[in-house]
Amino acid sequence: MKFKRLAEYFEKIEKTASRLEMTGLLAELFKEVSVEEIDLAVYLSLGMMRPKFEGIEFNLAEKMMLRVVSAAYKTKLKTTTEEYKKTGNFGEVVANLAQPGQDANLTVAQVYKRLLDIAMDEGLGSQDRKVNNMAKLLNDLDSLSSGYAVRIPINNLRLGFSDMTILDALSWMAKGDKSLRPELERAFNVCADIGEIAKVFKESGLPGISGIRAKIGVPIRPAKSERLPSAAKIVEKLEVFGVEGKWDGLRVQIHLDKTKNESAGWRRKTKSLFEEEKYLVRIFSRNLDNTTAMFPEIAKAVAELPVKSVILDGEAVGYDPKTGKLLGFQETVQRKRKHGVALKAEEVPVKVFVYDILFLDGEMVMGKTFRERRKMLEKVMSGVKEGLELAEQEIISDAKRLRELMIKYLKMGLEGVMCKKLTTAYQAGARNFNWVKLKKATEGELVDTIDAVVMGYYAGKGKRTGFGVGAFLVGVTDGEKIGSIAKIGTGLTDEQWQELKARSTKLETRNKPAEYLVDKNLEPDVWLKPELVTEILADEITKSPIHAFGLALRFPRLVNFRDDKNLSEATSKRELEKLFKMQKNTT
C-alpha cells in the first residue's frame, strides 16, 4: 500500500467523531492493506513504531521538529516557529509550507523503515542525522502524508482510538460486526503486541488467533481486581478464598529464560534489555513498559530460581536497608528512572512479593486454577534468597478472620488485603470478582481511591501565583472518552503544587483534546494531554449537574501521582458508578 493511501485513511478517521464510523474506516483499511504491511499500518495508526514494551523512542522534541520542518522546506527557523505558534499543529504547518506536487510514491513499508531507522539511530552526531533524515523523508512525501508523518516522532498523531478499537475493526474486517472481539481480545491479553495480533488474524483468521500463546519477552496484560464494600460482602461472594496483603508498590511482571531459545522472542533486542551470559530476563510494569534496567537487583535474584523459564506476577516494594521496614509508594516510585539507577538502588532497595505464576518451563499455566498455580509457585520459590519473597497467604471463609487479617496488614503499612478465588484461572487483562480488594476506608471516605486523569489546570491566585497553578481538573474514562469528575483546589502541600506544575508543563497543549468531555463553565486555563494519572481520595461521590457523567467527587484530595499507570489503568465511568452505589455500605 502507498503511504499516501494510508494518510488518506488517517484524514478520514481524524475528521469523524463517530466511534462506529471510525471502526468501519479502520476495517476498510485492514481489508485493503497486505498481510506483509498490516502490522506496520497498525503501529503507525497508533503513532508508534513497535509495541510499547519494546521502548523505542524517537528522542525528537518539538524544538528539533521545528528544525526538521525548516530544513525540509528551506524556511527560516523563526518563520517555522511563528507558523507553529499560530496553530499548535505540525500537520498544519507542513501543509502550509510543503510544495505542491511533491510525492515520491513511497509505500507504507518504505516510510515505516525510514522512520524506524531514525528512531534507532544513536551515538555521536545522531541528533543531527535524525533531523536531516527526517527532513529528507518529508521532502519525499506529499503534503498530506508528511503532515501525518511529522506528528509520529513527537507522539502527537492521536487519531482518537486505542488498541481496543483496533480489535473491533479487525472483527469488522472479517465479519462486519464485533462478534469476534472476545477471541481477539483473549489473544491480545496473553500477547500484548497489537501488530502481531493483526498480522496473525489477517493471515490465518480465528485458527491462527486461537493458537496464540504467552511467550517470554512479550508481556501478558495483568489481571485486575474488583471492589466490594465490606468483609461480609466478600465472604458472601467468594465463600472460601485465599487472602494476601495488598502492597502499595509497583506491579511487576517478571520474565526469565535460561535456554536462550530463539523462539522465545529474545532475538529482537532493545536498549532496556537486561542480559547476562547464562540467563535473560525482562521486567514489565503494570502498563507494559520495559523496566528491566531500573531493577538490577531483581534481575539478579530471578536468575537463582530453579527453572528453565518462567513468568511471575508480583509487587515491587521499596524498603529501608537499615531497618527492613517497607516504604510507601512515593518512595518506591523513585526507582523508576533511567539515570542514577545504581545509586538509587542503594538508597531505596526493593523486594518483590510474588503472588502468581503464569508460565513455567515452556508451558502457559494461566489456565490452571489459582490453587494449582499457588502450589507450583511455592515449589518455584522454595529456597529463594534476597530480592524475591513468596506472598504470604491464608485460606479463610469467614468475615471475622478477614477483618483480623485486614488489621494485621494495615499495621504492617500495607493498603489492605486482596481476596482471591481458589478455583479460577488467571484471566489476563480482565477485571472481575476472581480477585477482590478491600482497602482501608475510614468513616466518610470512599471504599477505594480514584485513579483520575489530569485534564488541565487553572491559574493560581494569591500564594499559588508562585506555583503557576491554583487548581486542576480530573476525569475518568469511558471507552475512548474522558469526562470530568472534579476540580481540585485544596489538600495539596506546597511540594505537590510545585510537582503538579512541573509535570503539567510537559503535557500542555494548545487545544482541548478531542476525547475530553468538559462543561464550558469548567474549562481550565491550560489543557493537558491525557497522560498524567493521579490517585484521588474523596469523602463520597455525589450527583452532579455539571460534570460529564452526572457524578462528582466531594472534597477530593491528591494522594499520589501514579507514574506506574496509564489511561488503560485509570478508573472508568462504570467503576465510578459502582463505587457510587456501594459507598453507603460499611465494612
Catalytic sites, residue numbers: 246
90: helix, strand or coil: helix
Buried-state track 369-386, b at ≥16 Cβ within 10 A, e below 16: ebeebbeebeebbeebee
The residue length of the chain stands at: 587
Q: How far apart are CA 274 and CA 272, in angstroms?
A: 6
Q: How far apart are CA 261 and CA 272, in angstroms?
A: 19
User: Which residue pairs, CB below 8 angstroms and at least 24 apart, start in 410-413?
Assistant: 410/440, 412/245, 412/326, 413/248, 413/325, 413/326, 413/328
Q: Are 350 and 317 in contact (CB under 8 A)?
A: yes
Q: How far apart are CA 483 and CA 476, in angstroms?
A: 6
Q: Are 551 and 541 in contact (CB under 8 A)?
A: yes
Phi/psi of residue 410, nearest 5 degrees? -65, -40
Task: Give the residue ranges of DSSP H helices in 140-193.
Answer: 143-149, 163-175, 181-190
Q: Are 77 and 70 in contact (CB under 8 A)?
A: yes
Reported as type and span, the H/E element at residue 246 is: strand 241-246
Q: How far apart are CA 576 and CA 578, in angstroms?
A: 5
User: What's the gap between Cα 448 and its chain centre?
Assistant: 21
Q: How far apart are CA 164 and CA 183, in angstroms?
A: 12
C-alpha cell of residue 52: 510499547
Q: Are 533 and 567 in contact (CB under 8 A)?
A: yes
Q: How far apart are CA 479 and CA 99, in angstroms?
A: 39
